[in-house]
Amino acid sequence: MSDVTIGQRIFKDSFSHDLQAAALNHITTFNTDFRLSFIAVNRAGSGGNITFETFFDSLDGANFDVLIATNSIGSNGQLIIFPDYDIYFAKGDELRLEAPSLGNATTLHITIQTVQE
């Protein structure tokens, strides 16, 4: 990945989601071009592993959407996703995160960091 240079801005989107109440389907977008820096996930709760998926959701339609990563996270586990390569999002593209609903009390605390070009 490339480094941040002068003139670029770092933005974070931090939120929590209760998987007992509903599956995670979170969309992040900005009103400008951006590059994904990392996604950090902290799982508070018990139960088996859950599958956490990250997608590039293209403004050009579903035929252009791409799965960026699929990860498993265990009870009270932590996960950080650093893309293996630069992923650029044009204005209107979206970053989508998904995880299934669980029958037990589990909360995901998530931070998404991006660099705006």
* Percent of the chain predicted with pLDDT > 70: 93
pLDDT of residue 31: 84
Cβ contacts of 11 within 8 Å, gap of 6 or more:
30, 34, 113, 114, 115, 116
Question: Taking residues 53-60, what's their average pLDDT?
Answer: 94
Angle at the Cα of 23 from the Cα atoms of 15 and 37, rounded to 5 degrees:
40
Under the banding of pLDDT at 50, 70 and 90, the label for residue 5 is low
Q: Residue 109 has which token pair?
A: 């605390």
pLDDT of residue 1: 46
Lowest mean per-residue pLDDT among 6-20, 32-46, 93-107? 6-20
Question: Taking residues 10-16, what's their average pLDDT?
Answer: 92
9-116 domain in CATH 2.60.120.220?
yes
Distance CA 45, CA 98 (A): 17
